[in-house]
Structures are given as structure tokens and as C-alpha cells.
Amino acid sequence: MRLALACNRSHLYQPVDGQPEDQFEEFDAPETVDAIAQTIASFGHTVEILEADHTFPETLKQGMFDVVFNISEGFRGRCRESLVPAVCEMLGVPYTGSDPLTMAISLDKNMAKKVLADKVPVPAGRVFTCAADLERSGAFDDLLFPALIKPNAEGSSKGIRTFSRVENVSKAREVILWALKEYRGPALIEEFLPGVECTVGVVGNQNARVIGMMEIAPKKVSQDQFVYSLETKRDYKNQVEYRVPPHLPESTKKEIEEVALGAFHGLDCRDFSRVDVRLGADGRPRFIEVNPLPGLSPFKSDLVILARGMNIEYPELMRMILDSAFKRLGLA
């Protein structure tokens, strides 16, 4: 089968003045793209790498591809992860992964929580769209502290720093203003959950199943102070211990699995996703976010690490993802 690998490669882009230094944090290293392409090719397919930039629609149109394997993150706006799926649908080319609607809702953290609020437990929070919102009467009423502040429509921990956990309204104002200015979009403040953080890998469609879950345990701070921040992810070998399976009671792991599958189905995810969950002070899991485009680096991506912890090696994981997509699409 002839596949196009739609991607955004990090080495091709550099932040310009006025953009945050983690502007392209979501983009894939060329080594990751090559590993994905080589693994898919090892299954007997022909793979061509297509940069998902302004050239993508015409290149895809001319390429006569059977299917697109989509890992592209897009460039601008909260719907940027929808661009490649939307182009594929416009041109009638089958593609792996979730559709444009799911991609857009999932990236908008607050919108995803609204959609899922009657399906899975979510942390309380609020969105600030501009500095004027901070001055409105009751702007911080009913918000619980400590709280966590992050850009509302970013991935890969963009805009989540060690200082994003705040203890009071004064500090919250400062960090919200920073996030609004730096990322030029709404900032989400939500109650900080002090319990264990886990990420869950889900593969499939109507028959979706959890292939594994992983606890992200801090090495250098207490659990109730821990933020899985950009700094932490960039230094993960020193900052965290990945535990597969989590060091939690079976009953709690079962609840986490139910939350993950509830979020996957509640947002109509397809083929594969990674769902982030954290325990509240009551020990019960809350949905944090779902990533329908989880990283697939064979070395450092959470989904790959948790799969390996379940004795699912990289080629097998990639084959599982492809099999789910091909079955859904009715491809051989």
C-alpha cells in the first residue's frame, strides 16, 4: 500500500521574535519521523514523508496515495490539528486517527471538559480570554486554590511551567497575564489535583481497549507539589520515574481505565489516543486531557514508554495502530 506520512518536522522551524521559545515543541524530531516511516515500510508498505505545510494539499492531491498516516500538529489556532484531516476529507483520501471535529475539541482543553462533563469527572476551572477578564467582578469566585494555569489550546506541555501551580489570586493574576501575552490565546485555570498523575494508552475504535497505563512519579518534589511541566519533560530522566503499571490499588486503576475509555469514546477518538488523568485529594481520578495525536518517538514518547512497559515493542505498537485504522477504513 502507498502511504503518505503527514508530519511537521521540528528542525525546519525556528521561533521568530514575539513567539515563545517552545513554539514548535509539539513538532516531531526528524529521527522520530524517520523511525515511523521505516517501521511502516517494514510491514511492506511504500512510505513518502510529506511536510504538512502550505504545500501539503497539492502534494497530497498529486501523490495518488492509498492512505495518510497523520502525525501533523499544524501551525496556527486552536483548530490547527484539524487541518490535515480536513484536507484529506476534502480530497477523499483515507487517513489514520481522529477526524477534524475531535481534533479541534480535544486541543481546546476547556471545550473538551464541557463535552465530557456528564461522562467523566473533570476538575473545576475557568477560562480567561483577555486581561480585562481579570478585572471583572467575581473573576476568581468559586475557584479552588492551589490552582494550575496553562494555555487553553496548546499541547506537549507548552506554557506549563514549574511556576504554573499557584497558591492564591495574586499569583494567579500574574501567571494568567504571562500566559495570555506569551501564547496569545485564552488561559485556563483549574483546581490543582494533588494526587498521582497517570497517562493511559488507548487503541481501537468501537472495540477500543487500554493497552497500558503509566504513573508519572516525581523524583525531586513531593507529589502534592508536582507539575508535569515543560522543564520536567525536557529532563524527564532526572525528574520523574515512570511506573508501569502504576503503584496504585487495583480498584483505582480500574477507575482510571474507565475515565480514559469514557473520554476516548466521549470525544469520538479513533484508532489511538493517550489520555491524561490525575487523582484528586479524595483519591478519585479526574480527566485532564486527551491527546488524539500522541507522540510516537521510539525513545521518549509517553505512549511508547508505557507500551514498552507492557511488553509491547515499538513495531508491535505501530502495527496495532495501523491495524485499527485499516479495519475502520475497510482497507486490506
**Residue 329, pLDDT score:** 97
Helix (H, G, I), strand (E, B) or coil at 60: helix
Quick: pLDDT tens for 107-142: 999 999 999 999 999 999 999 999 999 999 889 998
**Residue 12, pLDDT score:** 83
Q: What is the DSSP letter of 133?
A: G
Give the angle 106-283-151 at the CA atoms, nearest 5°: 30
Pairing of strands 2-7, 46-51: parallel
Q: Which residues pair with 200 in a beta bridge?
A: 213, 275
Q: How far is CA 11 from the centre of its chain?
A: 21
Quick: pLDDT tens for 193-220: 999 999 999 999 999 999 999 999 999 9
**Residue 242, pLDDT score:** 97
Q: What is the DSSP letter of 73?
A: -
Helix, strand, coil % over all residues of the chain, rounded to 5: 40, 20, 40
CA distance 70 to 266: 21
**Residue 282, pLDDT score:** 96
* pLDDT mean for each 10 residues of the chain (332 residues): 96 81 85 98 98 96 96 92 97 98 97 97 96 92 94 90 96 97 95 98 97 97 95 92 97 98 98 98 97 95 97 98 98 80
The cell for 112 is: 473538551
Q: Are 256 and 249 in contact (CB under 8 A)?
A: no
Give the angle 288-120-112 at the CA atoms, nearest 5°: 50
Name residue, grid cell 507492557: 310
**Residue 157, pLDDT score:** 87
Helix (H, G, I), strand (E, B) or coil at 52: coil
**Residue 49, pLDDT score:** 98
Query: What structural domains and CATH numbers belong to the chain?
Result: 2-95 (3.40.50.20), 124-191 (3.30.1490.20), 194-329 (3.30.470.20)
In the sheet with 46-51, reading across from the earlier edge strand, the strands are 46-51, 2-7, 67-70
In the sheet with 285-291, reading across from the earlier edge strand, the strands are 240-243, 209-218, 197-204, 271-279, 285-291
**Residue 17, pLDDT score:** 76
